[in-house]
Amino acid sequence: MSSKCFCFLLMAAVLSGTLQKSAAAAPKTHVVTLGKTSSVAWYTGTKDAKPLTMKIHPVLVDGRQKEYATGPSHDITERLFVIRRAFRVNDSLPDESGTPRWLWQRGGWLLVDRVSGHVSPVNLPDFDPFYSPISWYREYAAYCGTSEDGKKVYAVVFQLGRRKPLLKKVLAADFNLDDSVPDSACDTPVWQRSPSRVAFGLEGKIAETFSIHGQLVDLVSNDDDDSDQAEK
| Domain extent at residue 196 | 124-232
Same domain flag for 151 and 200? yes
Q: pLDDT at position 195, please?
A: 86
Residue pLDDT, tens place only, 199-218: 999 887 888 899 988 777 77
Same domain flag for 32 and 98? yes
Q: pLDDT at position 54, please?
A: 95
113: amino acid identity, one letter = D
DSSP for 140-163, please give it. EEEEEEE-TTS--EEEEEEETT-S
Same domain flag for 142 and 225? yes
Same domain flag for 36 and 60? yes
Q: pLDDT at position 166, please?
A: 92
Same domain flag for 68 and 163? no
The low-confidence residues of the chain, meaning pLDDT below 70, are 1-27, 45-48, 219, 221-232
Residue 202, classified by CB atoms within 10 Å of its CB into exposed (0-12), middle (13-18) or buried (19+), is middle
Predicted structure pTM score: 0.79
Planar angle of CA 5, 11, 17, nearest 5 degrees: 135
Tally of structural domains, the chain:
2
Phi, psi angle pair for 184, to nearest 5°: -95, 5
Residue pLDDT, tens place only, 121-145: 999 999 999 999 999 999 999 999 9
Q: pLDDT at position 91, please?
A: 87
Q: pLDDT at position 7, please?
A: 45
Q: pLDDT at position 18, please?
A: 47
Q: pLDDT at position 174, please?
A: 84
Helix (H) or strand (E) holding 137: strand 134-137
* Neighbouring C-alpha atoms within 13 Å toward the C-beta of 173: 0
